[in-house]
Every structure is written in C-alpha cells, then in structure tokens.
Amino acid sequence: MSISKEKEVDHLAGLILDRFGHRLTEQQRAEVKKSVETIVDNAVKMREIRLDNSDEPFNVFIPFRDEP
C-alpha cells in the first residue's frame, strides 16, 4: 500500500474509531480498518478511470412487454 493510501486509510479509520470506537472490541476495530482499506482500494481504482465531460453513463435498455 502506498503512503498516500496508508494515510487515507488511517485518517478515515481514525474518524470512524474516534466516533464509535468506544463501542467496539479490538477485533471489531481491526475489521473496521480492513473494511476501510477495501473501500480506499476501490476508490483509488475508480480515480484511475479518466472520464471526459462528454462521457455518458451506461444505460441498459429493457423494453416493456405487455404480458397477455
């Protein structure tokens, strides 16, 4: 994990644990940090995708069929 990712994970996990940490066990705290790492990894992957202003969302066309 790069330093910037590590700092982001520490910061976000710190925010959560500062607010809710008193209610959690050590195992739950570790699970929170693991979950935050997964979220940050996914966010980094999404940030790598460059979009132009003209890129539109992918639309799925599902035609309506009136069932008899």
Specify the pLDDT at position 7: 94
Q: Quickly count: other Cβ atoms within 10 Å of residue 51's Cβ.
A: 7
Per the structure, the complete domain to which residue 33 belongs is given by 3-47
Specify the range with the lowest mean pLDDT, choosing from 12-16, 26-30, 64-68: 64-68
In-domain check, residue 57? no
Structural domain includes residue 52: no
SS3 sequence, the chain?
CCHHHHHHHHHHHHHHHHHHHHHCCHHHHHHHHHHHHHHHHHHHHHHHCCCCCCCCCCCCCCCCCCCC
Q: Is residue 38 part of a domain?
A: yes
pTM of the model: 0.72
Q: Look at residue 27 and tell me whether its pLDDT is greater than 90.
A: yes
Count of domains observed in the chain: 1
Average pLDDT over residues 14-20: 96
In a domain, 7, yes or no: yes
Instruction: Report, as an integer, the average pLDDT of 45-61.
Output: 90
Asked if the structure places residue 62 within a domain, the reply is no
Is residue 53 in some structural domain? no
